[in-house]
Amino acid sequence: MKSSQSVVIERLQQAQNAHDLEAFLACFAPHIQSDHPVHPERAFQGVEHVRQNWSAIFHDIPDFHSELLRSAVEGDTTWAEWYWSGTRRNGTPFGVRGVSILGIPADQIEWARFYMEPVSASSCSDLQC
């Protein structure tokens, strides 16, 4: 039986790959707290900021694709390793890999810590990003 946290992660990835912004936003609590420990200036709170970020991503990367490489659940915390790929509207490849640690006490993500980084351009040809 899947945990409720795993179900939220599946919904999140399905919404990403469908470019369904409203379904994506439904995965987050209205007061979501997003932290980026490697880039603290990117921290924010609130689902409207998620809307701004991801509407831009879906627009700028029309073939955006999310691959969940692995995940683990411990209590209400979920660890997920991602590979996001696509092609920007200007034709340049887009590739980001990393980990998110998500607090999912019920059916929405309440907090997130992102350790996501762009794949280096020299690696893109090997990774097909």
Domains of the chain: 4-127 (3.10.450.50)
Indicate the length of the chain as a whole number.
Answer: 129
* Of 86, 79, 90, nearest in space to 127 by CA: 86
Q: What is the pLDDT of residue 124?
A: 52
pLDDT along the chain (129 residues), means of 10: 90 98 98 96 97 98 98 96 97 97 96 96 52
* Three-class SS state of 127: helix
List, in sequence order, every residue forming a beta bridge with 86; answer none if it has no partner.
94
Two tokens at 103?
């607090």
Q: What is the pLDDT of residue 120?
A: 86
